[in-house]
Structure 1
C-alpha cells in the first residue's frame, strides 16, 4: 500500500477513536471515575445473622438503562470493521510514535496498552470473576462464566438481537446477564478514557498528526431546550405539495407568508 494511504488510514483511525472516546468520557457513568473504576470488579457483601445464622449476599448495580446507553457508546470500539476499533487505534498510535521517534519507554507503554485492549475486547480470553449455575427441574445443570453472560446481554439484549447468544444464556435470565455485563462495560470505559488521555498527551507533544477538529467537534447533545431566533415562513399545503422551497438565503418567494403576518391580529 502507498505510504500516503497507510498514513491516511492510521489518521482516520485516530480521528474515529477520539470522537467516540469523547462520547464515552462524557457519559454519566464516567462522571465519577472512582465509582466507575470500582464497577470493574464485582463486589458482594455477605452478612450473617449471629442468632439465626441466616446468610445474605448483597450487591448493587447502576440502572440498566444507564449501562445500556454506555454499552452502545463503547460498541464501535469492539467491532473489527469500525474505524474506531480499539486495536486499530493502538496500531495507529504506535505507527505515529515510531514515525516521530518516540523513546523506547513510550513505545513499550503503548504496546502494554494494546495488550490490555486485547484482553478486554476478546470474547475468547476469560477474565472471569465468578460462574453462575442453574438447574431447572429434570434438565441438566447449566453453567456460564460471567464474561459469557456479559456478552449475551450485550449482543442478545442490548446492541444486537443475536438469538444464539441470548438463547445460550436464556436459562439464567436477563438480570444475571446484566449483572455480569456491568464490570465488562466499566472495564472498556476505563480503558477508553485511559487511552484517550494517552492520546491527548501524545497529541500535545506533537507525536501525532494535528487532530484539532476531532477534539473541537461537539460529540454529545446537552441542551434539552433549544431556542432559535429568525424569520419563520409558512405556506398552505395544497394537494400534497408545498410551494417551491427557496434556496438558502434567498427571498421566500411566491406562496410563502411570514409567520407573524399570518397569525398576529391585524394592527390598526
Structure 2
C-alpha cells in the first residue's frame, strides 16, 4: 500500500479519509453540494491491493497482524495500549456495527411504486469493492444497485483511503519495533520488492532461435539442442514474428476485419506519383519498406475473409531497430 500512487501525497490521502463537501448557495436559491474524488481506476487498484487486508480469512488480514503485534508487545504497556486503540479504531472505521457509526447513509424513494430504500456508507462501499471491483459478492452488489455506481464509489473512497492510512501506519510501527529489537524480523521481509518501478523489460545477453517445432532446451543450464542458431547482428529481423498474428479466438469478430483493404481501396490510396504513403501501409500492417508481393498478399487475405469470415493474420510491422523488436521463437 505504501507504494501505491495514492500514498505518494500523504496529506491528500489523509484528506480522503474524511467526507469533504463543498456547499455553494446560488443566487436563484439553489444549493449545490459537491465532492471531488480520485479517478475510479486509481481507487480500484488500491482496493484490489487492500482486499487481502480486509478479508478476515486471509493470512494478512489487518486484525491478525495487529493481534500478532500485541502478542510480542505484552511486556510494553505503551505498545499494548497502542494496539488496543488501533484495533478499536479499525473496527469503527473499516467494520462499523451500526449505520450511525458508518458516517452517513443514503435514502431513496421510488415515486411510482412508493418503495423506500436506504444504505449506510459502509454497505455502499462494500457493494462497490466486492460487487463492482472484484465481482465476488453479487448479493452486496444487488443491494446497492438502486443507488447507482457513483453513490457506491462515493461511499468507498473514505473507506479505502482510511484502510490505506491504517495499513501504512501499522507497517511503520512494525518497522520501529524491529529497529528497537522488540520484533526479530528477517531483513528481507522489509526489503523485498513489492511493486515495479519500471515496466520496461530489458536484458543483455545472447539470442538463439530455431524453426517452430524444434526441440526446446531441457532447462536453463543445459546446452541448446541441435538446430538452434545464434542471432547475428546482420540477421533479417523482419522474419521473426508470432504465428498467431494477434487474432482473437473468434476471428470473424476481430477488429482486423475492417482493416483489410479491398483491391479497389488499395488502388484508391495511391499517391499522385503512383506509390503509397508509409502511414497508410502501417495502417494495413504492411512493413516498411513494403516487401515484394504485399498487394497480392493483402488481396488474398481480403478474399479469404469475405469467403469464410476468418481473416488470416496480419503481418507484424518491421521494427525501427533491434532494441524495439520482440522475437517469438515458436
TM-score (norm 1): 0.82
1:124 & 1:157 partners in 2: Cα distance? 23
Structure 1 contact 97–207 (Cα < 8 Å) conserved: yes
How far 1:154 moved relative to its partner? Answer: 0.7
How far 1:123 moved relative to its partner? Answer: 5.5
1:151 & 1:105 partners in 2: Cα distance? 34
The residue number in structure 1 matching 2:89 is 116
Q: Could you say what secondary structure the match of 2:224 adopts?
A: coil
The residue number in structure 1 matching 2:229 is 257
The residue number in structure 1 matching 2:259 is none
Check if 1:243 corresponds to 2:215.
Answer: yes
1:262 & 1:234 partners in 2: Cα distance? 14
* CA-atom RMSD in angstroms: 1.9
Aligned residues: 235
The residue number in structure 1 matching 2:155 is 180
The residue number in structure 2 matching 1:35 is 12
Deviations, residues 171-203 of structure 1 (Å, cap 9, x unaligned): 101110001100000110010011111110001
How far 1:43 moved relative to its partner? Answer: 1.3
Shift of the 123–157 alpha-carbon distance from structure 1 to 2, 3 Å rule, reads: farther
1:246 & 1:66 partners in 2: Cα distance? 42
TM-score (norm 2): 0.67
Q: Could you say what secondary structure the match of 2:64 adopts?
A: helix
Larger C-alpha radius of gyration, 1 or 2? Answer: 2
Deviations, residues 217-241 of structure 1 (Å, cap 9, x unaligned): 1100121322200011111113xxx
2:39 & 2:236 partners in 1: Cα distance? 48
Larger mean Cα displacement after TM superposition, 248-257 or 147-156: 248-257
Structure 1 contact 133–144 (Cα < 8 Å) conserved: yes
Check if 1:159 corresponds to 2:131.
Answer: no
Aligned 1:121-140 pairs, distance under 5 A: 121-122=94-95, 124-126=97-99, 127-136=101-110, 137-140=112-115
Structure 1 contact 123–151 (Cα < 8 Å) conserved: no
Check if 1:46 corresponds to 2:23.
Answer: yes
How far 1:26 moved relative to its partner? Answer: 0.7
Shift of the 36–236 alpha-carbon distance from structure 1 to 2, 3 Å rule, reads: same
Deviations, residues 132-165 of structure 1 (Å, cap 9, x unaligned): 1222322412111111111110111112332111
Check if 1:68 corresponds to 2:44.
Answer: yes
Deviations, residues 53-77 of structure 1 (Å, cap 9, x unaligned): 1211111011111001000111101
The residue number in structure 2 matching 1:8 is none
Structure 2 contact 3–195 (Cα < 8 Å) conserved: yes
- Of 84, 88, 103 in structure 1, the residue corresponding to residue 64 of structure 2 is 88
2:132 & 2:126 partners in 1: Cα distance? 9
Structure 1 contact 135–142 (Cα < 8 Å) conserved: yes
List runs of 5+ in structure 2 lacking aligned partners. 238-330
Q: Could you say what secondary structure the match of 2:148 adopts?
A: helix
The residue number in structure 2 matching 1:20 is none
Structure 1 contact 71–159 (Cα < 8 Å) conserved: no
The residue number in structure 2 matching 1:192 is 167
2:119 & 2:128 partners in 1: Cα distance? 13
Larger mean Cα displacement after TM superposition, 119-128 or 51-60: 119-128
Shift of the 247–262 alpha-carbon distance from structure 1 to 2, 3 Å rule, reads: farther
